[in-house]
Chains A and B, each alone.
Chain A
Amino acid sequence: MIAPRRLALTLSVLGAVLLTVAAGALLVGSAPVSPRAVLGVLVGERGEGIEAVVVLNLRLPRIAVALLAGGALAVAGVAFQALTRNPLADPAILGVASGAAFGVVLAQLFGVGSGVVAALGLSAFAFAGALVAAGIVYLIAATDGRLPIQTLLLTGVIVGLFFSSAITVVISVVDFDRLGGVIHWLLGNLGPVPAGSLAVFGALMAVGTWLVLGRARQLNLLALGEESALQLGVETERLKRRIFVGASLLTSSVVAFTGPIGFVGLIVPHLLRGFLGPDNRLLIPAAVLGGGVFLLLADTLARTVVAPAELSVGVITAFCGAPFFVYLLRSRYRVIP
């Protein structure tokens, strides 16, 4: 099939799945709101009352956050995998998410105001943290310009642990009240984000996705190795810098608004690759929608499975992701000594 038509088909199928899941998520929750009432609120018949608050101020923004965060994490996963030529790469495994989280904790420490200013400040600190962590991982793991799988994974884990410990230090030293709900946030939670901050999140996600998607064709060629890509006309150094920045921006914006949520960038690209093949021009747009669907499903599970209490969505993705990672490591990408 011609590639653009295949892309259109993929996006319409995933779009339909996304709408279905979003509709489902809108109907479920600990507050008893009947489907009829939800529909009534949506078409504007019931503008006030508890139902309107639950649907418009709680459930709808939360669905939006889930879709944005899931899409961003999945695209960041595809980008890091293409960049490192390694299907096991993921923002959390590579330690980038921990770096971003450390940035957010520092930002909390200094105080960043409130509202949209706070959203921008947190994002900036998270972005700086992500860049520093990714840069350290790259510098340690690169040997002769290559990133061997074992070294890369180990380095990522170690850098991640380092930044997690740094976060623990800050939390232990600083007065607990000043850090607010940082513990809760560190587990990865999709709370309803106010409209202004949501717009900032959406904009950051759009910029990051554009940075990565705009070089999808070149990323395909990078799979042949840097030298071959260069010999085919790809300016590899510029490409790597751009993808590095884009993927770090996506990761850090998710961390800033929801906390570190692991494994989405590993699971979703892998599943999509099974259906679509490795062409990044299909994979990246599909990851935007597929990642959203996956995280929305996980979050809906997180807020219903122990209702009226709530689990952190990061717990759900880790429970899915950890066995999945082991499966990938043992079956698909067994390292030959």
Chain B
Amino acid sequence: MAETVITQGCSAVVIGGSAGSLDVLLEIFPKLDKNLPFPIIIVIHRKPGGESLLTDLLQNRTQLNVMEAEEKQPIKAGYVYIAPADYHLLIEENQSFSLDYSEKINYSRPSIDVTFQSAADVYKDSLYCILLSGSNADGLDGMRTVKRFKGKLVIQNPDTAIMPFMPQQVKSNLKADYILNAWEMASFINNLCKV
């Protein structure tokens, strides 16, 4: 599964993760190219408060611009956007963000399902969704929608994930297009090219 595959065009990468996923992001970020031709959108479960902590942590490891997603903000290639704590992050048809403070999904806000589903609706088959380590049910329904729109499903290898439950669910219930170890993800993302 680890071989480098020439992939189809990519208009956005959305990464979802829960417990144990921060380590993976810290592994990926220093190795990312600085001129990626698509945006990266990150939804990580975390507690409200310490707002800019995750943003700073990632910004210190990459030359890409990392910022917390703001409502109505246009989504631009080469930028990394992080879902703010305690809001769901949605993507509009015109490729801008909306925030939503509705019910938690899978005990989570932001919910990975919400962003995956909304991204699938907009980016359709040129979307790559990556689901990392976690012990929550979040992400599976989102991945199902991504598959329906023919986007690509990428999961962290459950055998090497700190918390295998989340990616394992996708592996067992849907067919993932790529199963990658943490150390393979940066080069995978760097090799995705623009539509």
Q: Do A and B bind each other?
A: no
Chain A interface residues toward B at CB < 8 A? none
Binding site for A on B (CB under 8 A): none
